[in-house]
Structure 1
Amino acid sequence: ELLKHLEWLSNAGVDHVTVAIPYLTELIKSQFPHLKVEVSTIAHVNSVARAKLFESLGADSIILHSNVNRDFRLLQAIRNAVKCELGVLTNSLCLYQCPYEYYHNNTLGHASQNHNSLNGFYMDYCVTHCTLERFRDTSQFIKSRWIRPEDIPIYEEIGIDFFKIAGRALPSEWIINATLAYSSGQCQENLCDILYVPNPKIDYADPVLASTQTARIVSPPKVYIDNQALEGFVDFFKKQDCLSGCDYCNYCQKTADKVVRLDRHETDEYASVFKSFLNDLTSSRIFLAKKY
């Protein structure tokens, strides 16, 4: 079935495929050598060793994992080690070193299976947790490894060949706005307008109520990140070791206090519903709803 699908893509004139599995990289380059293979960011290429491995399997380009976006020493080392094209993801608001990431990618893969008995039903425990963490701790908005449009030249100087913009499932207007910002190298006001992360609208029914009754409907709070106030922000990371932890460094929290603005009442209300949902999920209460 996989080979038939690749054959169909090839016959359709596709010239470029993105994969996250080493086996697929090797298979495609062996049986469809005319197809260019790009390694996805979810392959977690975050070291010289991993980049060299994928290049040896035939990868034509690699999108590095976003966790390395502000590790400039490592970016330069990877660039020096491989000849294939390198790209970075510019605008993800996912948590830095997110502990849910591997599990999240796994569950999303299973949720999209067309033979799954759940018929596409999926409770996103991971997004619920990381969204709650972000609104509980505003420094997470800064710790996320997004790249300001104004800082693109820093990466070009290192030798990064291309820049991937997340958010393909969003409306065309949003995609055009984000693309214009990165292609022009400037974002005039709210950086959050071009950053991507799922912030779900909560439509949550309390398990003790009838299934047709909704306890609360809460939309995500509006977040404002003052991009102009972030000028020079990234320079700090050129010598900083973030992997060793944040206990001795308060840079991101201090920055968040200056540039992140949100309505605390809206945020608290939004977070409270997430907490209720997680409590019902971890206690299994959500699976014990009465049938009507």
Structure 2
Amino acid sequence: MAKFSLAANYDPELVPALAAYPVDEVYGKFPGDGVSGGRPRYLATPLSEADLRDYIRLLDHHGIAFNYLLNGSCFGNREWTRPWQKRVMALLTKLGELGVRRVTISTPFLLELVKRRFPEFNVRVGIYAQVDTPRRARFWEELGADAITLESFSINRDFRRLAAIRQSVRCGLQLIANHVCIPNCPMQTYHQNGFAHASDDTGTLFIDYCFLRCSRLRLTDPSQFIKAAWIRPEDLAVYEAMGYTTFKLLERGIPSAELLRRVKAYSERRFAGNLAELLLPYGFNEPVRKESLWTLRHFWKPRQVNPLRLSPLLDLARLQGMLSPLPESPILIDSEQIPDDFLDGFRNRDCTSMDCRACGYCEQIAAQSVSISPEYRSAVLKKYAEMDDSMITGGLWNV
């Protein structure tokens, strides 16, 4: 039976509803813990130590575990210093006191550190470790990993490789089901390292160049919404037959109704509607909870950048529903227009070795299932162009 690892938004009223579904754990972290993570600080949900303690107790009451993320891909070489070592030891000790028994890491040294000094923790390897081959999976298992989240962005539809990885290790394996990342993304390493540094450092401006680039690509080439290796709720059985029974559901901090929608769809293995509602991390009709003075805290840095030149970036956030709710999604991925045998189209295709222009399968599916509001596309692409020009020419910094 499938079980799910769900993103946290720390809403206590959501937890009892989750208990009705096979949610094995909820994952998240403090907004800034001095150790680094997989999201920039400005995407974090406000959370105090007392909040987390109460949240973990509530989860435990309903039979749901909490997985704490220590999943940064880079620590800026601070891990070799005494201050960092003291900080991570204090954090892990505190997490144990709060009731945490599971953590996710992305670096081999941190895995060894946790397993040696805190053997009571169950340790999962995160997606930023980019485990996508049997050899890589065995490396982590032999190092002590209890479970591994595979590099789902690129291999969720590579069934031969998925089968080989499952056969190569005995540890738990997890796939991310609902993402829209570009397969074999050339920006992946740059992106996750930028996230790692931005997860704790609020003093330095972080502009998510990679997100801007790939979001614009999806608007100009809607087939990218199909090429992204998400898993439909209806297709979970295909993966279970290969031995994959644990699925991670994104995204942290989004409204409770959206998290519940995602859990319900995957638990019931069916969803008739707009798949974008299960996949996108923004564009909801409810507000996303942010810390006070959010814009000023994270983007008002006049010594580093010309704040006035950041207006296209904030306009993009507003247009895409990142700052305030949208009445309806301007992006439609009609699940009813995706064939029942959709996955069969990938069984005899090696997408990693193939030029998409010589194939056309995803383009064909996108033509009948994906539509984007013309007004939305035009307005957003205009702001992308303004922001891109400001960055590339140096106008953003008056240089």
Calculate the TM-score normalised by the size of structure 1. Answer: 0.90
Question: 1:26/1:227 Cα in 2 relative to 1: closer, same or farther (>3 Å)?
Answer: same
CA distance in 1, matches of 2:185, 2:351: 14
Quick check: 2:309–2:390 contact (8 Å CA) kept in 1?
no
The equivalences for 1:203-214 within 5 A come to 211=308
CA distance in 1, matches of 2:171, 2:134: 13
Moved more, 79-88 or 264-273: 264-273
| Offset, 1:117 | 3.2
| Matched residue, 2:265 | 181
| Matched residue, 2:52 | none
Q: Does 1:160 align with 2:244?
A: yes
| Offset, 1:113 | 1.9
| Matched residue, 1:101 | 188
| Offset, 1:266 | 2.0
Quick check: 2:310–2:396 contact (8 Å CA) kept in 1?
no
Residue by residue, what CA displacement relative to the aligned partner does 1:67-103 show, whole Å, maximum 9, x if unpaired? Answer: 1100000000000000001110000011111111111
CA distance in 2, matches of 1:175, 1:252: 27
| Offset, 1:199 | 6.9
Quick check: 1:280–1:286 contact (8 Å CA) kept in 2?
yes
| Offset, 1:172 | 1.0
Quick check: 2:225–2:366 contact (8 Å CA) kept in 1?
yes
| Offset, 1:268 | 2.0
| Matched residue, 1:235 | 344
Quick check: 1:131–1:199 contact (8 Å CA) kept in 2?
no
| Matched residue, 2:97 | 11
CA distance in 1, matches of 2:310, 2:244: 52
- Coordinate RMSD, CA, aligned: 2.5
More relative contact order in 1 or in 2 (CA 8 Å, sep 6+)? 2
Quick check: 2:309–2:396 contact (8 Å CA) kept in 1?
no
CA distance in 1, matches of 2:261, 2:137: 31
Quick check: 2:332–2:370 contact (8 Å CA) kept in 1?
yes
Q: Does 1:190 align with 2:287?
A: no
CA distance in 1, matches of 2:271, 2:191: 30
Residue 331 of structure 2, aligned match among 213, 219, 223: 223
Structure 1: runs of 5 or more not aligned: none
Structure 2: runs of 5 or more not aligned: 1-86, 285-294, 300-305, 321-328
Q: Does 1:31 align with 2:117?
A: yes
CA distance in 2, matches of 1:82, 1:226: 37
Residue by residue, what CA displacement relative to the aligned partner does 1:202-258 show, whole Å, maximum 9, x if unpaired? Answer: x99xxxx99399579451371111112222111111121001121320001111001
The equivalences for 1:1-292 within 5 A come to 1-66=87-152, 67-114=154-201, 117-118=203-204, 121-197=205-281, 211=308, 217=315, 219-220=319-320, 222-230=330-338, 231-244=340-353, 245-288=355-398
CA distance in 2, matches of 1:199, 1:277: 20
Aligned residue-pair number: 282
CA distance in 2, matches of 1:272, 1:145: 28
CA distance in 1, matches of 2:280, 2:120: 33
Calculate the TM-score normalised by the size of structure 2. Answer: 0.67
Secondary structure of the 2:206 match is coil
